[in-house]
């Protein structure tokens, strides 16, 4: 059963939401675009990424509107693949071309490729799956000034969580009841793109919780790489979300399309 269907089928299962400033993580799963590495040194007030708890609406740069239309046209060809409980979008035309050892790489230098890279790389740069996934993902597919801080934050969060949960060293912390639901473009060029990714997960009292994470990707060395969040803290790029107005919803997994 996909994460999307699980949300509708499990009203009695409650996962506590922890609001760290405006960064949202789900315990024991993850919510803010599947991203839950939070820099240990950051003060809660420093993680705010939009006034009144909402991500600021983008003003599309020249060329971004065309990119949005191109990416939307590619949604009809999407397939979905399960990654530790999260259904991640894949495409023969957009990528990833290679999925091995829990890692995903090889994305097209197109709007659809940038969108798929933001999600597939961003989700993997997360404490939840253990150092065997977040380590090589961050070292080889994340760039920018906050990269070292992101890796250190993920490792510190993993060490603490694995000890608390009695998880053997190096093993994933467990599956995540999260679904990638929608997106909206902020900017796009063939060299750099920024997109807001909406994730949904079960909140308190059976209410579906939403969070949006702004992810920037950069074309480098023949593939897209994610720009690390400021200070290596995903909470600085995330916000709770109350409405999907202005966002493009992903088609639900249906058992068809180019699954991998």
> 40-69 pLDDT, tens per residue?
544 333 333 333 345 555 545 555 677 778
191-203: b (≥16 Cβ within 10 Å) or e: eebbbbbbbbbbb
Q: What is the arithmetic mean of pLDDT over 231-242?
A: 86
Q: How confident is the model at residue 207 (pLDDT cuts 50, 70, 90)?
A: confident
According to the model, what pLDDT value does residue 16 have?
Answer: 30
Beta-strand pair 23-26/103-105: unpaired
According to the model, what pLDDT value does residue 27 have?
Answer: 30
Q: How confident is the model at residue 20 (pLDDT cuts 50, 70, 90)?
A: very low
Rg of the Cα trace of the chain?
17
Using CA atoms, how far apart are residues 43 and 260, in angstroms rounded to an integer?
40
What CA–CA distances, in Å, run from 80 to 10, 180, 204, 257?
21, 11, 27, 8
The region of weakest confidence among 96-100, 130-134, 136-140, 254-258 is 254-258
Answer yes or no: are the C-beta atoms of 86 and 34 closer than 8 Å: yes
Using CA atoms, how far apart are residues 129 and 151, in angstroms rounded to an integer?
13
Q: Helix or strand or coil: residue 32?
A: helix
Q: What is the pLDDT of residues 124-180, one digit of tens each?
A: 999 989 999 999 999 999 999 999 999 999 999 999 989 999 999 999 988 877 889
Answer yes or no: are the C-beta atoms of 55 and 171 closer than 8 Å: no
According to the model, what pLDDT value does residue 63 have?
Answer: 57
Higher-pLDDT residue of 185, 34: 185
* Predicted TM-score of the model (pTM): 0.81
Answer yes or no: are the C-beta atoms of 107 and 96 closer than 8 Å: yes
Structure-token pair, residue 257 = 């399309």
According to the model, what pLDDT value does residue 58 have?
Answer: 56
Listed residue (223, 215, 227, 148) closest to 186, CA to CA: 215
Answer yes or no: are the C-beta atoms of 195 and 184 closer than 8 Å: yes
Higher-pLDDT residue of 242, 1: 242
Using CA atoms, how far apart are residues 77 and 176, in angstroms rounded to an integer?
25
According to the model, what pLDDT value does residue 65 have?
Answer: 75
The rounded mean pLDDT for the chain is: 78
Taking the CA atoms of 163, 165, 169 and 175 in sequence, report the sign of the dihedral they define: negative
According to the model, what pLDDT value does residue 104 have?
Answer: 97
Answer yes or no: are the C-beta atoms of 33 and 179 closer than 8 Å: no
Higher-pLDDT residue of 38, 165: 165
Q: What is the pLDDT of residues 23-35, one digit of tens each?
A: 334 332 345 544 4
Per-domain boundaries in the chain: 3-249
């Amino acid at each position: 059963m996909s994460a999307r269907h699980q949300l509708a089928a499990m009203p009695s299962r409650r996962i506590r939401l922890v609001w760290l400033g405006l960064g949202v993580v789900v315990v024991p799963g993850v919510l803010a675009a599947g991203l839950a590495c939070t820099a240990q040194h950051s003060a809660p007030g420093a993680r705010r990424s939009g006034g009144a708890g909402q991500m600021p609406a983008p003003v599309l740069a020249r060329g971004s509107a065309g990119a949005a239309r191109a990416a939307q046209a590619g949604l009809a060809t999407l397939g979905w693949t399960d990654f530790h409980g999260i259904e991640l979008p894949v495409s023969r035309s957009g990528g990833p071309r290679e999925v091995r050892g829990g890692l995903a790489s090889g994305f097209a230098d197109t709007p659809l490729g940038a969108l798929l890279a933001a999600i597939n790389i961003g989700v993997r740069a997360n404490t939840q799956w253990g150092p065997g996934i977040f380590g090589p993902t961050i070292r080889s597919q994340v760039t920018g000034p906050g990269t070292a801080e992101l890796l250190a934050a993920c490792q510190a969060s993993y060490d603490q969580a694995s000890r608390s949960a009695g998880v053997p060293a190096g093993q994933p912390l467990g599956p995540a009841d999260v679904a990638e639901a929608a997106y909206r473009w902020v900017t796009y060029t063939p060299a750099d793109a920024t997109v807001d990714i909406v994730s949904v997960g079960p909140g308190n009292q059976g209410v579906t919780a939403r969070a949006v994470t702004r992810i920037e990707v950069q074309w480098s060395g023949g593939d897209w790489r994610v720009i690390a969040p400021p200070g290596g803290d995903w909470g600085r790029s995330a916000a709770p979300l109350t409405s999907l107005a202005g966002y493009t919803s992903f088609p639900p997994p249906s058992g068809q399309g180019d699954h991998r």
